[in-house]
């Protein structure tokens, strides 16, 4: 995949979106990127593939403003009609341009979020898209790429840093009242993993362990789903799974793992 071309890299796909759909990932982005966002001299973020309406771009700008009030956000969309119709939402800190994975912003973004975009590509195209996007990041930059359901109740995402070819982490965030077994949410796995959820693959092994830990934590239901989830994650960690962060994140229905725990070895 070349990075210098006048034709945007990628293809137009379905534009489905919803206001506030990406609140779970936006909350996590604020948490992990805050030190870099506070330190940068150029607080630029990109929402790549914002879809048929500019809601998720505006939501990310508003969320990042809590950390950095002077943040600027550029929505990048490959469909020229969606770029034209988004212009009415632009203001001094929010703009919309046509482009693809080459991210044609004048300066390199610190934060690049691409949500529900690669889901519609072939798995074989994912690694090249990651590499092109991370090559465009500012030196301490972050690429957050993932997938969620229509209303954003369940979401999965990977995080890469500038220049990375593969993710550093996989995160899962869910409304804790909405499932019997956590593995039911695998249908929203990022493209890089969704076809790997079969016996013998690390992501399948992890989800099997997660289901077992969730079942074993059933007695905690008496104290609510949140306590049951915290007990589930604590037992995974006690069992040697290198779950990141702590109960202040887990109580949100989150779980972050190093990528090497779930990455396919094939």
Ligand X SMILES: C[S@@+](CC[C@H](N)C(=O)[O-])C[C@H]1O[C@@H](n2cnc3c(N)ncnc32)[C@H](O)[C@@H]1O
- Per CB under 6 A, residues contacting ligand X are 9-17, 21-22, 48-51, 56, 76-79, 82, 100-101, 115-117
Least distance in Å: CB of 99 to ligand X? Answer: 6
- Closest residue by beta carbon to ligand X: 10
Least distance in Å: CB of 246 to ligand X? Answer: 28
CA–CA gap between residue 126 and residue 131 (Å, rounded)? 9
CA–CA gap between residue 235 and residue 216 (Å, rounded)? 9
User: In whole angstroms, what separates CA 59 from the centre of its chain?
Assistant: 14
Identify which of residues 98 and 251 has a Cβ nearer to ligand X in the complex. 98
Least distance in Å: CB of 187 to ligand X? Answer: 15
8 secondary structure, DSSP code: P
Joined together, the tokens standing for residue 113 give 């979020």
Least distance in Å: CB of 156 to ligand X? Answer: 12
**What are the strands, taking DSSP E only, across the chain?**
44-48, 72-77, 94-98, 111-115, 142-148, 154-161, 169-174, 254-258
Identify which of residues 44 and 117 has a Cβ nearer to ligand X in the complex. 117
Least distance in Å: CB of 46 to ligand X? Answer: 10
CA–CA gap between residue 160 and residue 166 (Å, rounded)? 7
């Amino acid at each position: 995949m070349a990075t210098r071309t006048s034709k945007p890299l990628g293809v137009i796909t379905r534009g489905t979106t919803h206001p506030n759909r990406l609140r779970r990932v936006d909350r996590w982005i604020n948490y992990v990127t805050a030190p870099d966002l506070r330190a940068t001299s150029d607080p630029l973020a990109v929402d790549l593939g914002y879809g048929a309406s500019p809601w998720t771009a505006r939501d990310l700008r508003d969320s990042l403003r809590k950390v950095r009030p002077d943040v600027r956000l550029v929505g990048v969309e490959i469909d020229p009609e969606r770029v034209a119709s988004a212009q009415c939402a632009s203001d001094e800190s929010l703009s919309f341009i046509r482009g693809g994975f080459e991210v044609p912003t004048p300066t390199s973004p610190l934060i690049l979020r691409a949500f529900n975009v690669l889901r519609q590509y072939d798995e074989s195209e994912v690694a090249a898209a990651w590499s092109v996007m991370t090559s465009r990041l500012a030196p301490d930059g972050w690429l957050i790429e993932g997938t969620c359901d229509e209303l954003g109740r369940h979401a999965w995402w990977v995080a890469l840093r500038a220049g990375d070819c593969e993710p550093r982490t996989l995160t899962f965030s869910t409304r804790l009242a909405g499932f019997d077994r956590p593995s039911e949410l695998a249908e929203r796995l990022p493209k890089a993993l969704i076809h790997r959820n079969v016996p013998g693959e690390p992501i399948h092994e992890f989800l099997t362990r997660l289901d077992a830990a969730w079942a074993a934590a059933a007695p905690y239901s008496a104290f609510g789903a949140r306590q049951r989830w915290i007990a589930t994650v604590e037992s995974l960690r006690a069992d040697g799974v290198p779950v990141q962060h702590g109960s202040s994140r887990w109580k949100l229905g989150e779980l972050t793992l190093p990528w090497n725990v779930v990455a396919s070895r094939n």
